[in-house]
Structure 1
Amino acid sequence: MKGTLHEINGRYALTFERFFSRPVEKVWHGITDPDCFNQWYPFSTGEMDLRVGGKFHLDDGEGSIYEGIITELDPPNIFAFREVDDWLRFELRSKGDGCLLRFTHTFDDRSMAARTAAGWHGCLEVLDMVVDGKPAVWPDNMAEWREKYAKEFNQKG
């Protein structure tokens, strides 16, 4: 799994595709259940109102708490939300004995692409652990991934 960067309507989008050896419903649970979400999404603070227009709170770790607002929900295939001006979309579909996750994060500041890609790379690794019922252990290779993505996206590391 590696993220790609592209442009959509004047904004930037990071897209990741990842295969999970679990059925769609299991991965859906990992993405949308608040207890699971809190393990792999580092800014989540707790409960989630799982409906279009539903909200959940996020904490940037620097003293700012803001809302995530669910913009699209089609269980067990699509979960999308807005986080300030960023748009995040998770799409699941069955594939063989498991499912394929296509995740897209749309944002404005291209200079943050490598850092954001490295962060999502780590989040999706931890999501894989959570879906497999393993303890969430954050990888210690984030600096390495930032450098790889910076090189790929022609940015400073």
Structure 2
Amino acid sequence: MEISEEALVPAAPDRTWQLVTEPRFFQQWYAFGGAEIELAPGGAMVLRWDEHGGFPARVEAVEPGRRFAFRWLPEPGDLVEITLSPQAGATSVRITESGVLEDAATSAMAWRNALSLLVELGRGD
């Protein structure tokens, strides 16, 4: 199964890349309890939420300015791909999650909400 959500972030691709890959920003739009990201293929990740705890993941792909992908652990966890496409004065961000997706509707809603926060964060420049 696969879900996909997309939004236009009002920031340049370089800035948007920072927002989606740097832990201090990632926690502002998705992992509100904190994020650890070793930004290299095979790198370790831990995403936290105060109400849910920490969730380990592994970085699968890093294409600076274009694509960041990670897989929830344990194997074979769902794959999350974040792709960036430059637009006039902004960046289109698409988040695709594929795999078993225990609750696809909830996952899609969570990514929609996260993207709306990412858009707001992009406006902060």
Q: TM-score, normalised by structure 1?
A: 0.69
- 7, 10, 15: which one pairs with 1:21? 10
Q: Is 2:112 the counterpart of 1:113?
A: no
Q: Spell out the pairing of 1:30-69 with structure 2 (5 A cutoff).
A: 30-42=19-31, 45-59=34-48, 61-63=51-53, 65-69=54-58
Partner Cα distance (1:56, 1:126) in 2: 21
**Matched AA of 1:53:** G
Partner of residue 96, structure 2: 104
Partner Cα distance (2:18, 2:112) in 1: 19
Deviations 1:79-115 (A, max 9, x none): 00001211100111112222211210113146x1211
Q: CA deviation at 1:66?
A: 3.2
Query: What is the DSSP-based 3-state SS (H/G/I as helix, E as strand, rest coil) of the residue aligned with 1:39?
Result: helix
Partner Cα distance (2:116, 2:55) in 1: 25
Question: How many percent of aligned residue pairs carry the same amino acid?
Answer: 26
| Gap runs ≥5 in structure 2 | none
Partner Cα distance (2:91, 2:101) in 1: 31
Bigger radius of gyration, 1 or 2? 1
Q: CA-atom RMSD, angstroms?
A: 1.9
Aligned residues: 121
Deviations 1:7-36 (A, max 9, x none): xxxxx1111121222211111111011100
| Gap runs ≥5 in structure 1 | 1-11, 135-157
Q: TM-score, normalised by structure 2?
A: 0.85
Go from structure 1 to structure 2 and tell me whether the alpha carbon gap of 1:46 and 1:114 turns closer, same or farther (over 3 Å shift). Answer: closer
- 100, 110, 120: which one pairs with 1:129? 120
Q: Is 2:69 the counterpart of 1:80?
A: yes
Partner Cα distance (2:63, 2:37) in 1: 16
